[in-house]
Amino acid sequence: MINAGDSFQGLRALVLGGSGGIGAEISRYLARAGADIVIHGGHDEGKLSKLRAELSECSGRLSTVLRELNNASDAARWAGSYEDIDILVVAFGPFLFAGLEDTSPEEWERMALLNLALPGALVSTFAPRMTRHGYGRILLFGGTDTDLPQSFRKVAAYSAAKSGLSTLARSAAAAYGPFGVTVNVLCPGPVQTEYQSESEKLYYQRILADNQMMEPSTLVPLVSLLLSQPGAAVNGVTIRVDKGWDRRS
């Protein structure tokens, strides 16, 4: 049994979408906590270079990979080439803002493949391997308000795919939980990252009860628990992290 308390020393982590936003904050945390980490980024080598420099003094081994992920099978084959991964974080998933009538068949397919089939293929690849040494942590990221089925006027395709992660996590927890592997989903509310435009940030600041978007660092304490040894009891769960925000109010 691998012990992962406050330190992740001796554990190997793979963070998809780990070069920016929430993913970058998780990458920083794991590297500083001693994990050997592979940080994936999809488009921006500059972000990866900056992270490498920032985390160069960390005790664990660190490597970065720039690779576009365009389909589930290729992503699973590539990610699966990393052996002995103890911690898998999937902070990756393209967003689409469009009404149902404006969503093309190709966009439906892309949302389903990259936001549901890709995480599913990664769980199918890594969870069985993790059972071999009795420890594994997989953390997936849903979208805002995708913890339960509900209506979305402009993000239906994206949210429908992300909603499926709850079923994936419950299914994987039932299959692999008895062998020390946890699979959970976080559904953050509005988080301030480099991916929002200034107009989007102003919009959220206007409608949020306290007029403040969350910082990515807000999620770190919960992420730390879910990825640690003490987090073993939390399995197959979809957790909202949104300060109680109700987008319909």
Parent domain of 125: 12-240
Question: DSSP for 131-192?
Answer: GGGT-EEEEEE--TT-SS----SSBHHHHHHHHHHHHHHHHHHHHHGGGTEEEEEEEE--B-
Position 223 scores a pLDDT of 97
Give yes or no for residue 4 having a pLDDT over 70. no
How would residue 208 be classed by pLDDT, with cut points 50, 70 and 90? Answer: confident
Nearest Cα to 87, choosing from 27, 171, 168, 155?
27
Q: Is residue 230 part of a domain?
A: yes
Q: Is residue 1 part of a domain?
A: no
**Do residues 8 and 33 touch, judged by C-beta distance below 8 A?**
yes
Nearest Cα to 37, choosing from 16, 68, 6, 67?
16
Position 136 scores a pLDDT of 98
* % of residues, the chain, pLDDT over 70: 94
Q: Is residue 3 part of a domain?
A: no
Sign of CA dihedral 192, 194, 196, 202: positive
Position 190 scores a pLDDT of 80
Position 2 scores a pLDDT of 41
Q: Is residue 249 part of a domain?
A: no
Question: For 96, left (φ over 0), alpha (ψ -120 to 50), or beta?
Answer: beta
How would residue 246 be classed by pLDDT, with cut points 50, 70 and 90? Answer: low
The alpha carbons of the chain give a radius of gyration, in whole angstroms, of 17
- Provide the domain count of the chain: 1
Q: What residue type is 78 in one-letter code?
A: W
**Cα gap 138→122, rounded to integer Å:** 9
pTM for the structure as a whole? 0.92
Strand partners, 184: 139
| C-beta neighbour count of 32 within 10 angstroms | 16
**Across 64-69, average pLDDT:** 96
Helical packing angle, 105-112 and 156-176, nearest 10°: 30
Q: Is residue 61 part of a domain?
A: yes
More confident residue, 249 or 180: 180
DSSP secondary structure letter of residue 65: E
Summarised one tens digit per residue, pLDDT across range 110-125 is 999 999 999 999 999 9
**Cα gap 87→102, rounded to integer Å:** 38
**Cα gap 26→212, rounded to integer Å:** 21
Q: Is residue 59 part of a domain?
A: yes
Helix (H) or strand (E) holding 14: strand 12-16
Position 5 scores a pLDDT of 45
Q: Is residue 245 part of a domain?
A: no
Beta strand 12-16 with 238-241 is unpaired
| C-beta neighbour count of 117 within 10 angstroms | 20
Strand partners, 155: 98
For the domain that residue 115 is a member of, what is the CATH number? 3.40.50.720
**Do residues 116 and 41 touch, judged by C-beta distance below 8 A?**
no
Q: Is residue 57 part of a domain?
A: yes
Summarised one tens digit per residue, pLDDT across range 10-49 is 999 999 999 999 999 999 999 999 999 999 998 899 999 9
